[in-house]
Amino acid sequence: MKEAIYGLTGSFIFKAAVRFLKNKTPLAQEEYKKLDGTYKAKAFTVSGYTSLIVLQTFLNELESACESGRTKKEFMDTMNGFLLRNGYEGINPFHADVIFRTNIQTAYNAGHYKSMTDPAVKKLRPYWKYVTAGDNKVRQSHAVMDGRIYPADDPVWDIWYPPNGFRCRCSVISLSKRQVEESGMPVSKGLPYDGGYKYPDKGFSNNPAKDAYKPDMSGVNEGLKKAFNSRKQRKSHKGI
């Protein structure tokens, strides 16, 4: 039996997660860095590679892993075969883990977000709870959110919706009003505070799963805007 991929298995295709990956557009890292945080949610990059063909191949392999339940090792082996055949240096296990875990986890959480924000589901389960992996590898900055419950529409989820850093394993679960009452846990308000307000890791203080996507392109040159939109349109026309 194949290894489960962070909540996805070969027998269950999380369609919303796959669509999330399919809607991404590859960009070289220098272009990616110039984008607003919310705009980055629709872009894809890999450190060390600038070729759009290579970046698209990375993205295609992540989509395939999400659809078929392929493992991180299978992803790494396939990508390294492609890279070496085309004269590029392969990725090591650590780099593969960062790419695979962060992107698959983001896609999974995006799909979960879409499910939890369905009006019927949200009416029955109007509270969300932040959950860490609960082991000694959890970052202290993420641990401050562990177990905290907020209303599903609280603005905190615009900032603290996982993944909240590279290789983050945190997740969010929905709760009914009765479950919250029975837990005895208070409903939180505002950002977590521990000698100061706590935020996710640098570059992760936004919610890429939100459907209402209104990128702020102020300060981004017109050439980059056109390049991004042109690549996105080409993907759409090809049915990618």
CA atoms within 13 A on the CB side of 21: 27
| CA distances (Å), origin 205, targets 32, 155, 163, 215, 225 | 16, 12, 10, 14, 22
- Give residue for tokens 């070289």: 28
Enter the tokens of residue 112: 């979960």
Rounded-to-integer distance, Cα 234 and Cα 25, Å:
10
**Residue 170: what residue type?**
C
Rounded-to-integer distance, Cα 8 and Cα 66, Å:
7
Phi, psi (deg, nearest 5) at residue 60: -60, -40
For residue range 110-139, list pLDDT tens digits in order. Answer: 888 988 999 999 999 999 999 999 999 999
Rounded-to-integer distance, Cα 101 and Cα 203, Å:
16
For residue range 58-115, list pLDDT tens digits in order. Answer: 999 999 998 888 899 999 999 999 999 999 999 999 999 999 999 998 998 888 898 8
- DSSP-derived 3-state class of residue 174: strand
For residue range 133-167, list pLDDT tens digits in order. Answer: 999 999 999 999 999 999 999 999 999 999 999 99
Cis geometry, peptide bond prior to residue 163 (ω within 30 degrees of 0) = yes
pTM value is 0.76
- Give residue for tokens 């799963």: 209
